[in-house]
Structure 1
Amino acid sequence: MNTGTLGPQQSYSEKATRVWLGLCDMDGENIHFFADIPDVFTALDGGNIDVGIVPVENSIEGSVGVTLDLLLEKDVSIIGGVVVPISHCLISKGKVEDIQVILSHPHALAQCRQFLRENFPNAELRTTGSTSHAARLATEFNEMAAIASESAASTYGLDVLLSGIQDWDKNETRFVVMVAGKNKKCLQVPQKVPNNTKTSLIIYLDSDRPGALYEILKEFATRDINLTRIESRPSKRSLGDYLFYIDLEGTINDANINDAINQIGKKTKNLKMLGSYGEYLA
């Protein structure tokens, strides 16, 4: 099975991918690394990979907007999830006093915002496609450092200058495991009992009136269905026009959940089911 994720090697996305493959009793020989999230979706859509694994949400910085947008735009289904604990390190060839430029993925920089403000207020911050890409770039000059994992430091021959630099100790990123819509029944999934089960969907109301969202949420509340996330995203049609991304506990196999979603479908302009799936802790 060809699996695609953010690279190069030793990204947190690779860790999530290897956890998923291990749960499926597969090796990691066919992992393909991509420069950014849209490239993973494009490869999946084009049939160049069978499974794509990308970050969707972080406990400090929130949702990954580009992932949410592409989940709507592309014909993909979510078949699983992996939650990875994140511990950032400052890694470099040089010493702390040498550092003038710090590189990392935008979310990693944001997760260390206070640390950077207090310790490197004059450093230039540069964004990269992944934390491991930042580590690879940091090998070029002593004045460069990357925010990445300890394993990335080892792989790219860098020193760990400071560890645990994220602003909050409890730092986790949730990754989604996706397949192209037409392949969702053709791939192996873990037999292990997941830590929890979720159903994810996107709704578009197309009606800016009092109580429109309440009517949707009431379908869940009256059935005692717990929502774990609800988030609005611009529809890109006009200012103030939004889509809603919803995660809920349980799967579509539950008659209660199935009935709620059927009723919601009658009250919305569009409803996209992203999938019901098990989520695992790395």
Structure 2
Amino acid sequence: MTIAALGPKGTFSHELAEKIKRKDEEVLLFPTIKDVFREVCLRKTKGVRGIVPVENSEAGGVGETLDAIMTSECRIFAEYYMPIHHLFVSGCSHKDISVIYTHPQSHEQCSIFLEKLENIPVIHTSSNAQSAKEAKTTANSAAVTTETAAKLYNLPVLKKDIQNSGNNTTRFLEISAEGTLPENPEKCSIVIIPKENRPGLLYGILEIFARKNINLTRIESRPSKDGIGRYVFFIDFETGENCRDAISELKTVTVLKELGCYSRKEL
């Protein structure tokens, strides 16, 4: 059994995978979220589940995950909420820092702190672990990173908890190409792919949920990649007795892909 997650060692995805892995599971790390989906869904490797970030309370949705789950055969089997704490690390003192490495999402989540460090250029990396690695190997540099990565690269912590919000949280999805969905899920996710662009389209979709007294927990638009001004809508909603009726009705007015019904798992 295997858990596929975004690497290298030291990312928040890696930290979560290590926390939730079973005794008989190993964690395999991949350089991109797309690679995680490819391993879990496209190759349909048996016994593999994936862990991918889907949204952050500060920075919003993770576009790479949303794009991949819309086009893959994976389904969502669980969700996890992980508190996120960023560290500012460096092998040199504050006054000697000439460049800062950070992942784009971490940059957004720590923007207030970074904006106060005037005239120090910020370079984006592929992961929080890569940021730490760059800070370790580049003279007069610093990084925004995780506690695990700071320890891995033996980087002194100059400041803890530099994230904008004390409630900074990332929601992760557990995906798989096989398995049995839970009997009593708490939430379902779908993606709406409109057949046409017309006035009242989104209103008509949302009216179905309102009429059936279904509570939406999230809605986000993403470019459909079919041309400017055309979008798809990712919708999460709480389960209830009218959910299947709502999905059936939606299918009569638009193209709909079910992404899975699932429960929240505690860390």
Q: Which residue of 1 aligns with 2:63?
A: 65
- Structure 2 residue 148 is the aligned partner of structure 1 residue 171: no
Q: Which one of 151, 161, 173 corresponds to residue 148 of structure 2? A: 151
Separation of aligned partners in 2, 1:39 and 1:12:
17
Q: Which residue of 2 aligns with 1:91?
A: 89
Separation of aligned partners in 1, 2:175 and 2:33:
12
Q: Which residue of 1 aligns with 2:252?
A: 266
Q: Cα deviation per residue 1:8-31 (whole Å; 9 max; x = unaligned)?
A: 22211122223333xxxx137510
Work out whether residues 58 and 165 of structure 2, in 8 Å CA contact, stay in contact via their aligned partners in 1. yes
- Structure 2 residue 191 is the aligned partner of structure 1 residue 202: yes
Which sections of structure 1, spanning at least 5 residues, go unmatched?
none
Q: Which residue of 1 aligns with 2:52?
A: 54
1:182-197, aligned counterparts within 5 Å?
Answer: 183-185=178-180, 197=186
Work out whether residues 234 and 241 of structure 1, in 8 Å CA contact, stay in contact via their aligned partners in 2. yes
Cα deviation, residue 265, structure 1: 0.8
Q: Which one of 201, 208, 212 corresponds to residue 219 of structure 1? A: 208
Cα deviation, residue 104, structure 1: 2.0
Q: Which residue of 1 aligns with 2:28?
A: 32
Work out whether residues 88 and 165 of structure 1, in 8 Å CA contact, stay in contact via their aligned partners in 2. yes
Separation of aligned partners in 2, 1:205 and 1:63:
20
Which sections of structure 2, spanning at least 5 residues, go unmatched?
none
Sort the Cα spacing of 1:144 and 1:29 in 2 relative to 1 into closer, same or farther, 3 A.
farther
Secondary structure of the corresponding residue to residue 265 of structure 2: strand
Q: Which residue of 1 aligns with 2:100?
A: 102
Q: Cα deviation per residue 1:80-129 (whole Å; 9 max; x = unaligned)?
A: 1111101111012222222122112210011111211112x222212222
Separation of aligned partners in 1, 2:23 and 2:14:
13
- Bigger CA drift: 130-139 or 75-84? 130-139
**What amino acid sits opposite 2:179 in the alignment?**
K
Q: Cα deviation per residue 1:4-55 (whole Å; 9 max; x = unaligned)?
A: 111122211122223333xxxx137510111111111121222357111111
- Structure 2 residue 265 is the aligned partner of structure 1 residue 280: yes
Separation of aligned partners in 1, 2:176 and 2:251:
23
Separation of aligned partners in 2, 1:122 and 1:78:
43
Q: Kindly report structure 1 stretches of 4+ aligned residues shifted beyond 4 Å.
A: none
**What amino acid sits opposite 1:184 in the alignment?**
G
Separation of aligned partners in 1, 2:94 and 2:245:
58
**What amino acid sits opposite 1:199 in the alignment?**
C
Separation of aligned partners in 2, 1:280 and 1:143:
41
Work out whether residues 57 and 63 of structure 1, in 8 Å CA contact, stay in contact via their aligned partners in 2. yes
Separation of aligned partners in 2, 1:19 and 1:176:
14
Identity %: 38
Separation of aligned partners in 2, 1:77 and 1:100:
44
Q: Which residue of 1 aligns with 2:122?
A: 125
Separation of aligned partners in 1, 2:51 and 2:147:
21
**What amino acid sits opposite 2:126 in the alignment?**
G
Sort the Cα spacing of 1:95 and 1:28 in 2 relative to 1 into closer, same or farther, 3 A.
farther
Work out whether residues 76 and 179 of structure 1, in 8 Å CA contact, stay in contact via their aligned partners in 2. yes
Separation of aligned partners in 2, 1:178 and 1:147:
28
Sort the Cα spacing of 1:173 and 1:36 in 2 relative to 1 into closer, same or farther, 3 A.
same
